A and B are shown apart, each in its own frame.
Chain A
Amino acid sequence: MRNVSKLTLAALVLAFGVTTLQAQTNSANITATATVQTPINVVGAQQLNFGNVFPGVNKSVAATDLTNGGRFDVTGQASAPVSVSFTLPATLASGANTMPIDTYTGVHADNAAQTGGVAFNPVSGASPTLSASGELFVWVGARAVPATNQAQGVYTASIIMTVVY
């Protein structure tokens, strides 16, 4: 009888010992989730075209000029606000010859017809909102200032537009 009791006691100790060990560590998971929106895509859709320029005669192209104004097309997340900024050249170049370009103007709209367009200063940038279909159209105008002795040639420069959320 005494031996049986000791055995029972030992079994109890063993059983409780196992329970204690099992309860020492516990773990649980949670999930991290995110939904990434559509990345921004910018395309230079139309060049800013001054056409023929005569020495000593300034020539301006308005941002509202749908034919000659420069145009960028932007796509991204629908209805998302974005920040638009520019790197604007101060001169056009033809080989070693340069011609000043200044007085930049800008218009942005949520359609390619510029309906409801909003004027802005490209030097300062703009903070428009992409359309419900995730589109934005941006036009740029400027003034070419040829000198009276401006050398003949084709003058070009790059206008860079950066768009971020």
Chain B
Amino acid sequence: MRGMIGLVVGAGLLAAPLAAQGRPLTTSGVRGLTFGAVLPGVPLVVTRTDPALSGQLDIRGPNRQQILLSFTLPLVMTGPAGAQLPLVFGSSDAGYSESQAIGSQIGFDPKQSFTATLANNGRGSVFIGGTANAAANQRAGAYTATLTLTVTVLP
């Protein structure tokens, strides 16, 4: 009986940190970064506020949880026969939005880690733009690359 009481008390102590932790952290890619048609020799910029072309990733986790956002960014997109199309990210090409609204972002440098806080409902979104620098003699065709966002819960 004393053991049962001990267990109940023990379980009660555990419940508090679990409630604070809330739902598990999840990250999902919502929309790719789309440059569309690129003319050789003409840099093409996609802004992070472009609702159709910017990349978007959504995050869910504990309410008001502080998180660290880190991108792994490609230097080039790869196309036909291994042709490479340079891809450049500026110092404000990424943005974070607690409200997940593309028009309400805090810009940050996607080449640097960025600390953000999830909203009261445990949600947040990251948007990203960039520049495709096609050379004047860039080989025609479709080019792709993968961008990875890593989200880390901060203590």
By a beta-carbon cutoff of 8 Å, the part of chain A in contact with chain B is 1-6, 8-9, 12-13, 16, 19-20, 22-40, 77, 80, 164-165
Contacts and interface: CB of A to CB of B under 8 A. Distances in A.
Interface in B13-42: 14, 17-18, 21, 24-42
A69 B136 CA distance: 28
B102 interface: no
Contacts of A12: 10-11, 14
Nearest to A13: B14
Contacts of A32: 32-35, 55, 74, 77, 87, 130, 144-147
B77 A33 contact: yes
Looking at chain A's contact residues, the main secondary structure is mixed
Contacts of A24: 25, 152-153
A163 to B, nearest CB: 10
B142 interface: yes
B146 A27 contact: no
A13 B140 CA distance: 58
Interface residues of B, number: 63
B114 interface: no
Given A5-B7, A9-B10, A26 B57 contact: no
Contacts of B85: 34, 36
A28 B3 contact: no
Contacts of B153: 23-25
Nearest to B146: A29
Contacts of B152: 24-25
A108 B148 CA distance: 48
A30 B14 contact: no
B107 interface: no
